[in-house]
Amino acid sequence: MNFLGAEFKDDIREVPTKALAYVGDAVFELFCRTRFSFNNSKVREHVNAEAQAKSFDKIEILLSEDEKAIAMRGRNLKTYRSKEPFYRKATAFESVVGYLFLTGKEKRLRMLLAKSFE
**Residue 30 belongs to domain spanning:** 15-116
- CATH assignment of the domain containing 108: 1.10.1520.10
- The reported pLDDT for the residue numbered 42 is 87
Percentage of residues of the chain with pLDDT beyond 70: 89
Residue 2 in domain: no
Q: Is residue 3 part of a domain?
A: no
As annotated, the active-site residues are 25
Q: Is 1 part of any domain?
A: no
**Domain contains 42:** yes
> Which residue in 74, 82, 41 sits closest to 56, CA to CA?
74
What is the reported pTM? 0.89
Query: What pLDDT is stored for residue 92 in this prediction?
Result: 95
Higher pLDDT, 27 or 81: 27
Residue 6 lies in a domain: no
Task: Calculate ∠ Cα 8-31-89, nearest 5°.
Answer: 85
d(CA 102, CA 43): 23
Q: Is residue 8 part of a domain?
A: no
Structural domain count of the chain: 1
Is residue 7 situated within a structural domain?
no
